[in-house]
Amino acid sequence: MREGYTTGSCAAAAAKAAAYMLFTKEKTETVRITVPRGDVFYAQILDISLREDSVKCAVKKDAGDDPDVTDGLLIYAEVRRREDGDAGGKSDRPDLADGSADKTGECSADDSDDPPGECRADDSDDPPGECSTDDSADTPGECSADGSADTPGECRADDVEINSTNAMGDGKGAVSIRILGGEGVGRVTKGGLDQKIGEYAINSVPRQMIKEAVSGAYEEASAAADLRDFYLTGIDVIISVPGGEEAAKRTFNERLGIVGGISIIGTSGIVEPMSRKAVIDTIRLELGQYHDMYGDSVVISPGNYGQRFLMDEYGFDIDKAVKCSNFIGETIESCVDIGFKNVLICGHVGKLIKLGAGIMNTHSHEADARMEVLSAAGIRLGLDNEMLNRILDANTTTEALRIIGEDSLVNIKQIMSLVMERIIYYLDMKCRNRIKCECMIYCDGYGLLAASYGAEALLDDIMNNMNTGGR
């Protein structure tokens, strides 16, 4: 199946093209950027509008074979030089006239349950943010955009600082880049997402991609043009998506607290297509190959975040974990059929907590009991009704964990230990004790939240087996 590119990749490509044309005063109809996964994206530039101090152009969103609601939309970037004296000041756009919460460093709006159809990897349409498989469309805010252990819900200063200084200039100064949203880009109205309340829903990784793209255009153009005025005055990059507000009605954005448009998202830069049968067949094939190479114990993970966690914390080769997407139940059944004896499941709390309710397909369209599972564990540990209600009303699991952390008598890991007991109970029910299931759950900013009794020992055994050549 054909892969596509995220809204973040399209925005970055359009921004690079617009910046290059602004710097050089030359029209370009193609541009090249490298997305976070390492792929080179050759984008066709459309609907170019050239003015003296600004350039606006678009890249058409191509979701590949993924049923993405943003497929075919034009993602626009306008790059303009700010007026003298406005390097950190107000916008002249009516909706930004008061200068409030629009600066890329003041943060505003995305767990890896990204708005369905927004830009899902193979995680498909999870509500933006809860935790997608390859991270392309998770609920904004639940999973740190680049998988790093940022404080959940907090914006990293190097991604959103209003006067972020990129490597642009001749040694006499550095340009200030401000990233704003326009038509069809949503604003954040609830906490617990990638951006703060009031900010446009342009996630941290796309923000960084846009800044790097504009920096790249500057470097390409600076050899032949005098660009000193730009680092003296600063640059605004305005991302807009005509039709985005209508498309967002078919996503989970409004429920998550993103209003007025879509989110600009994506952490790998790539949309991996997903059809149920094709993905399950691929998972089964990969499991069979793995069994032939390494024997009867396997590590599975819903997506890239779980794989990265194992790599960062335990040195586990992420290429040796089988990605199961949302299909945990089907993957376990395949493991039994193929002849595995041990399975270790590792992933983000936003996905795997659903197992604590016996939900074996973690796609948001199947079921969602994240807050109910946490609240049930909280009842057992004596949390008061007010806190339990706040947990039930939480937007993401990261937000719920922060609420739990406010109780001085109950430790987050105590809650998660109870949750893990339920997860193992339902996993054992699923496989009918024909295979040994272990589980590890983590969250950015908290690290390992819970591990079943034999999880780390099983991981050690698997790594030792691989280091000695498998079978």
Residue 107 has a CB neighbour count (10 Å cut-off) of 27
**423 vs 222: which has the higher pLDDT:** 423
Tokens, residue 418:
């109870």
Q: What are phi and psi of 13, to 5 degrees?
A: -65, -45
Task: Tell me the C-alpha to C-alpha distance, in Å, between residue 36 and each of 39, 122, 194, 217, 339.
Answer: 7, 16, 18, 17, 36
Region class of 437: left (phi > 0), else alpha (psi between -120 and 50), else beta:
beta
Helix (H, G, I), strand (E, B) or coil at 119: coil
User: Whose structure tokens read 């950015």?
Assistant: 444
Q: In the prediction, which pLDDT does 470 show?
A: 63
Would you tell me how many other CB atoms lie within 10 Å of the CB of residue 281?
12
State residue 274's pLDDT score. 64
Among candidates 32, 55, 56, which has minimal Cα distance to 43? 32
Mean pLDDT of 41-60: 96
> Tokens 């590949």 belong to which residue?
64
Under the banding of pLDDT at 50, 70 and 90, the label for residue 231 is low
Q: What is the mean pLDDT of residues 81-109?
A: 41
The rounded mean pLDDT for the chain is: 80
Phi, psi of 50 (to 5 degrees): -105, 130
Of 6, 94, 16, nearest to 58 (Cα)? 16
Read off the pLDDT of residues 158-214 as tens digits, 9 standing for 90 and up. 333 323 334 344 433 456 889 999 999 999 998 778 899 999 999 999 999 999 999
Beta strands in 145-272 (DSSP E): 177-181, 187-188, 235-240, 258-259, 270-271
165 and 218 in contact (C-beta within 8 Å)?
Answer: no
Which residues 6+ apart lie within 8 Å of 199 measured at CB? 101, 102, 106, 107, 108, 109, 187, 188
Confidence at 364, pLDDT banded by 50, 70, 90: confident
CB count in 10 Å sphere of residue 380 = 11
pTM of the model: 0.58
Amino acid residing at 359: I
Closest CA to 365 of 255, 202, 261: 255
Burial class (CB within 10 angstroms; exposed 0-12, middle 13-18, buried 19+) of 9:
buried
Q: What is the pLDDT of residues 295-310, one digit of tens each?
A: 999 999 987 766 778 8
Query: In angstroms, what CA-CA distances link 31 with 26, 183, 207, 218, 294?
Result: 13, 23, 18, 13, 43
CA pair distance 413, 407, nearest whole angstrom: 12
Spatial distance between the Cα atoms of 202 and 212, rounded to a whole number of angstroms: 15
Is the pLDDT assigned to residue 89 strictly greater than 60? no
**Helix, strand and coil percent figures for the chain, each rounded to 5:** 35, 20, 45
Cα–Cα distance measured from residue 374 to residue 391, given in angstroms and rounded to the nearest whole number? 8
Q: Which domains does the chain have, with CATH numbers?
A: 4-271 (3.30.2110.10), 276-467 (no CATH)
Percent of the chain surpassing pLDDT 70:
77
- Those residues whose C-beta lies under 8 Å from the C-beta of residue 219, and which sit 6 or more positions away, are 167, 168
CB atoms < 10 A from the CB of 24, how many?
17
Please tell me the predicted confidence (pLDDT) of residue 96: 35
Across residues 308-323, what is the average pLDDT?
85
SS3 97: coil
Question: For residue range 67-78, what is the model confidence (pLDDT) as tens digits?
Answer: 788 999 999 999
